[in-house]
Amino acid sequence: MSRTTKLVALTAAASLTLGLAACASERDPGTSPTTAGGGATTTAGGGEAGGLIGIAMPTRSLERWNNDGKHLDELLKKAGYETSLQYADNKVDQQISQIETMVNSGAKVLVVASIDGEALGNALEAAAAKGIKVIAYDRLINGTEAVDYYATFDNYKVGTLQGEFVKEQLKLDSEAGPFTLEPFAGSPDDNNAKFFFSGAWDVLLPFVESGKLVVPSGKSPKTNDDWKSIGIQGWETAKAQSEMDNRLNANYQDKKVDVVLSPNDSLALGIEQSLESNGYKPGADWPLVTGQDADKANVINMLADKQAMTVWKDTRTLGDQVALMVDQIVKGQTVEVNDTETYDNGKKVVPSFLLAPQVVTKDTVKSALVESGFYKASDLGL
Ligand code: BGC
DSSP codes of every residue in 125-172: HHHHHTT-EEEEESSPPPS-S---EEEEE-HHHHHHHHHHHHHHHTTT
pTM as predicted: 0.86
Nearest to 344 by CA among 232, 226, 195: 195
pLDDT, block means (10 residues), the chain with 382 residues: 36 42 31 32 59 97 93 97 97 98 97 96 96 97 97 97 98 96 97 97 98 98 97 97 98 97 98 98 97 97 98 96 97 96 96 97 98 96 91
Query: Which pLDDT does position 3 carry in this prediction?
Result: 35
Query: Which pLDDT does position 167 carry in this prediction?
Result: 98
Tell me: cis bond preceding 29? Omega within 30 of 0 counts: no
- Rounded Cα distance, 233 and 231, in Å: 6
Strand duo 149-153 + 179-183: pairing: unpaired
What number does the ligand 1 atom closest to the CA of 263 have?
Answer: 10
Query: Which pLDDT does position 10 carry in this prediction?
Result: 36
Strand duo 358-360 + 310-312: pairing: antiparallel
Where does ligand 1 bind, in terms of residues with CB under 6 Å? 62, 64, 138-139, 190, 192, 235, 264, 266, 292-293
Residue 185 CA to ligand 1 centre (angstroms): 11
Domains contained in the chain, CATH given? 10-147+314-355 (3.40.50.2300), 155-312 (3.40.50.2300)
**Strand residues in 203-263 grouped as ranges (E):** 213-214, 259-261
Residue 208 CA to ligand 1 centre (angstroms): 26
- Rounded Cα distance, 276 and 362, in Å: 19
Query: Which pLDDT does position 252 carry in this prediction?
Result: 98
Residue 264 CA to ligand 1 centre (angstroms): 7
What number does the ligand 1 atom closest to the CA of 196 have?
Answer: 8
What number does the ligand 1 atom closest to the CA of 65 have?
Answer: 12
- Rounded Cα distance, 207 and 169, in Å: 14
